[in-house]
Copies of this chain bind each other. A is one copy, B any other.
Amino acid sequence: MKAEIISVGTELLLGHTVNTDAAYVARELSALGIDLLFSCTVGDNPARLREALQTAFARSDLVITTGGLGPTGDDLTKETVAQAAGVELVRDPASAARIEEYFRGRECGPSQYKQADLPRGCTVLQNDAGTAPGCVFESRQGVLVLMLPGPPSELLPMLHHYAAPFLAARTGGVIASRMVRVFGIGEGSAAERLADLLESSNPTAATYAKENEMFIRVTAKAETPAAASALCEPMVAEICRRLDEAVYIVNEDGTSDSCLEQVVVQALAARGMTLATAESCTGGLLAKRITDVPGSSEVFHMGAVTYANEVKTRLLGVPAELFDTVGAVSPEVARAMAEGVRQAAGAGLGIGITGIAGPGGGSAEKPVGLVYVALSDGKAVWVRRMNPAGRIRSRAALRDRAASVALDMARRRLGGLTQPEAEAFALV
């Protein structure tokens, strides 16, 4: 099935709004095994929408519009689509009743009821977050047409709860996917180790990389969800075997965001342990990422952002003489920060980060990008030196990478794994 998206909205062509809708729909189609070949955007302009629809009806089996279903004069998608598809709009009583209910006690003009006018014989897709229903129907040209509302808060639930199941049934099969999330191994290196698996066709496996993150998505198609899942499992197991400790989680679906911090918070909670952080160059970013996770307050009681050396000494007990002998950016200070904050917080684990995030402050001996990350569990402390010659250049990327390295060290300690590239010291 060849699909095409037509996004409708002048705000998209003025750049006021980024077209996230198209990405959401694209992701859903991909998971359903439907090929999306074109995605087009037009303004709230019937003539240009008509032109886009004519092109789409001639080359695609499924045309999905987003936007233009609302009550205002600009909202012309349904009228234009109905005309191009050769169908008539008729008022859907159930949708009209929902609109009336929505406005109970408030004024509800005739333009609101316009939203209940839908192509005759269509399948109505309920809008759980607004007033404009969506719909799906077959055009006179034999093309399946799906109309979705523009606001993402309305589009997303309609897409997941009503449109995707409808399409899955139509494509005669269901999709299951898994995300294998990995830290501490590059995309190239992962692709090398998985080369033969990446050639597979059902299930498929593909690597994805962002600046500080990598994952492998495994997708299988079968007649039932259970059968599709069963196809994924051996592939996931083999990937986990080959990438071993670098795998930090396998997600059941492809929609969740990166979650090294979630894995750490869950591992801490499972063990009844707490973590404390002392940050210099990351400036609170590590604490922020940990506390992004709902419920983190149970396992994270204290974080310190200690830019000034004097504060490192007073708050964390970092020996003041270290700043003169080895300097603030040193493995010794990172270790003292990690163990110092652990003790100050009475926590099970302590993390210390010190480095030069740039753009200023670097020297030949200690260049921008040099960061030491230390993890202490009260018995031992591990220190990792981040390579200043690496390819990460911006202040933001460097800080994010340092926070990720710290989280990965905590994950490895909590999981009883090795600490690659880290030097270990026993604490007395």
Q: How far is the CB of A56 from chain B (nearest CB, A)?
A: 11
Task: List, in ascending order, chain B residues with CB within 8 A of A38's CB.
Answer: 40-42, 48, 52
Q: Is A16 an interface residue (CB 8 A)?
A: yes
A208 is an interface residue with CB less than 8 A from chain B: yes
Q: Report if A72 contacts B (CB, 8 A).
A: no
What separation, in Å, do the CA atoms of A88 and B295 have in the docked complex? 60
Q: Does A311 contact B (CB under 8 A)?
A: yes
Pick the residue among B12, B283, B361 that contacts A287 (CB under 8 A).
B283
Q: List chain B residues, Cβ under 8 A from A23.
A: 12, 15, 17-19
| Minimum CB distance partner of A314 in chain B | B344
Chain B residues contacting A66 (CB-CB under 8 Å) are none
The listed residue (B18, B208, B310) touching A16 by CB distance below 8 A is B208
Residues of B within 8 A of A288 (CB): 282-285, 287-288
Residues of B within 8 A of A361 (CB): 297
Q: Does A424 contact B (CB under 8 A)?
A: no
Q: Which of A26-34, A133-141, A223-231, A318-326 forms contacts with chain B?
A: A26-34
A45 cross-chain contacts in B, Cβ below 8 A: 37
Q: Is the CB of A37 within 8 A of B42?
A: yes
Q: How long is the Cα–Cα vector from A40 to B40 in the complex, in angstroms? A: 4
Q: Which among B29, B30, B55, B295 is the interface contact of A360 at CB below 8 angstroms?
A: B295
CA distance A15 to B286 in the complex (A): 29
Q: Which of B290, B304, B310 contacts A283 (CB 8 A)?
A: B290
Residues on the B chain within 8 Å of A284, using CB: 279, 284-288, 290-291, 303, 305
B291 and A303 within 8 A (CB)? no
CB distance from A66 to the nearest CB of B (A): 13
Q: Does A123 contact B (CB under 8 A)?
A: no
- Interface residues in A265-310 by Cβ distance below 8 A to B read 277, 279, 282-288, 290-292, 294-297, 300-308, 310
- Complexed CA–CA distance, A285 and B36 (Å): 38
Separation of A285 and B24 alpha carbons in the complex (Å): 27
Question: With a CB–CB cut-off of 8 A, which chain B residues contact A28?
Answer: 15
Determine which residue in A22, A55, A295 has the highest number of CB atoms from chain B within 10 A of its CB, and name it: A22
* Contact yes or no, B39 A40, CB < 8 A: yes
**Cβ-closest chain B residue relative to A298:** B307
CB of A338 within 8 Å of the partner chain: no
CA distance A286 to B396 in the complex (A): 15
Rounded to whole Å, the gap between the CB of A296 and the closest CB of chain B is 7
A25 at the interface (CB under 8 A from B): yes
B26 near A14 with CB under 8 A, answer yes
- Please measure, in the bound complex, the distance between the C-alpha atom of A416 and the C-alpha atom of B305, giving whole angstroms: 28
Q: Mark A3-25, 1 if CB is under 8 A from B, else 0.
A: 00000000011111111101111
| Residue positions of A touching B, CB distance < 8 A | 12-20, 22-30, 36-43, 45, 48, 52, 55, 208, 277, 279, 282-288, 290-292, 294-297, 300-308, 310-311, 315, 344-345, 358-361, 395-396
Told that A13-B39, A288-B288 touch, could you supply 14 new A-B pairs with CB distance under 8 A? A13-B36, A14-B30, A15-B26, A18-B20, A38-B42, A38-B52, A282-B291, A283-B288, A283-B290, A287-B305, A301-B311, A302-B311, A302-B315, A311-B345
30 A–B pairs (Cβ distance < 8 Å), ordered by A: A12-B22, A12-B39, A13-B37, A14-B26, A15-B23, A15-B24, A15-B25, A15-B27, A15-B28, A15-B30, A18-B18, A18-B23, A22-B41, A37-B48, A40-B40, A284-B285, A284-B286, A284-B290, A284-B291, A284-B303, A292-B395, A292-B396, A294-B359, A294-B395, A301-B306, A301-B307, A302-B311, A303-B304, A304-B305, A315-B315
